[in-house]
Amino acid sequence: MRTLSIAATGMLAQQTNVDVISNNIANMNTTGFKRQRAEFQDLLYEQVVRPGSATSAQTRSPTGIQIGSGVKTGAIYRINEQGSTQQTDNQYDLAIQGHGYFQITLPDGSTGYTRDGSFGVSDQGELVNSDGFPVQPGITVPQNAVSVSVSKTGQVDVVLGGADPTPQTIGQLQLATFVNEGGLEAKGGNLFLETAASGAPIAGTPGDPGFGTLMQGFVEASNVNPVAEITALITAQRAYEMNSRVVKTADEMLATTSQLR
C-alpha cells in the first residue's frame, strides 16, 4: 500500500509550508523584509501502463495507468514587491522606492545587500547600518555638520556649523540590482549575499533607468499581508489534517486486511 508513504510526503510538505508562513508572520514588522512562498512538485510516477502503449494489434492505451508517489518541496521563492514606506524622521534613514539594494561592507570584507535603510553614523561619522557595518560607497559626515540631506538620486549634502549656510556635497550613494533577485542568499540580519543564481551585481545611481529612488527620513516596511498569511495558514492546516486522515484510513485498511481469515 503506497497510501501511507504518499500521505507522509503530503504532511511533510505542509509542515514546510507552515514553516514558511510562520516565518512571514514573525517578520511582519521587520524593515525591508520580503515575504516567501513555498512551491511544491509531484514525485515520480510508477508507469503500470504507459500512455500510448499497445492494447491490441490496432489500438493503444489513451491514458495509461500512472500512479503517483507523493509531493515534495520544489522551491521557496521570495516575493520582491514594494513594501509601504514608514516615516521615522531620522535624517539617516533611507527607503528605496523601486528596484535596488543598499551595499554593505561586511566584517570579512565581502559585500552584503539589503533593503533595510535604517542607518546611523559611527563614532567616526561613517554612515553605517544598525549592526555598525559601513555603507558602500563610504560616506563620512563631518563632526561639525548641522544637518544632512540626501536627494532622491543619492547625493549627500551637509550644512556645516558656521556663518556659511551653503550645503556641501560629501558623497554619492549607489544601489545594486540583480538579474535574478530571487537567487540571492538570505544571510540573516536583513542581509543578502550574491550567488551564482542571482548573477553579478549591477551598480548604478538611484533614479537611473532600472534603479529606484531614495526617500530620506523613511524606511521600507515588510510586504507581509497579515490577512493573506492567516488564510494561507488555515489552508495549510486543513491540508495537513486531510493527509493525516489519509494515514488513518490506510491504517484502518491494513488492520482490516490483517484480520482476514
pLDDT above 80: residue 6: yes
pLDDT above 80: residue 100: yes
Answer whether 93's CB lies under 8 Å from 196's CB.
no
Q: What is the mean pLDDT of residues 132-143?
A: 91
pLDDT above 80: residue 260: no
Q: Which three cell numbers stand for residue 138?
A: 563610504
Segment among 74-78, 159-163, 215-219, 241-245 with least mean pLDDT = 159-163
What is the helix (H) or strand (E) element at residue 71, kind and residue range? strand 71-78
Kindly list the distances between the CA atom of residue 126 and the CA atoms of 103, 119, 143, in Å, as whole numbers in the listed order. Answer: 14, 10, 10
pLDDT above 80: residue 261: no
Segment among 48-57, 81-90, 158-167, 181-190 with least mean pLDDT = 158-167
pLDDT above 80: residue 172: yes
Q: What is the mean pLDDT of residues 166-181?
A: 92
Whether residue 137 has a cis bond before it, omega within 30° of 0: yes
pLDDT above 70: residue 226: yes
**pLDDT value of position 163:** 65
**pLDDT value of position 54:** 85
pTM listed for this prediction: 0.85
User: Mean pLDDT in the chain?
Assistant: 91
Answer whether 189's CB lies under 8 Å from 226's CB.
no
Query: Cβ neighbours of residue 112 under 8 Å, at least 6 residues apart?
Result: 103, 104, 105, 106, 133, 187, 191, 192, 193
